[in-house]
A = this chain, B = another copy of it.
Amino acid sequence: MTRYRVAVHIVPRRGLLDPQGKAVADALRSLGFPGVEDVHVGRHIVAEVQAADAASAEQSVRAMCAKLLANPVTEDFEIAGVNAA
Contacts and interface: CB of A to CB of B under 8 A. Distances in A.
A15 interface: no
Interface in A46-85: 46-51, 60, 63-64, 67-69, 80
Interface residues of A, number: 36
A36 B24 contact: no
Given A38-B48, A42-B45, 9 more contacts: A24-B68, A25-B47, A27-B68, A28-B47, A35-B50, A39-B48, A40-B46, A41-B45, A43-B43
Nearest to A37: B48
A50 B42 CA distance: 21
Nearest to A40: B46
Nearest to A67: B31
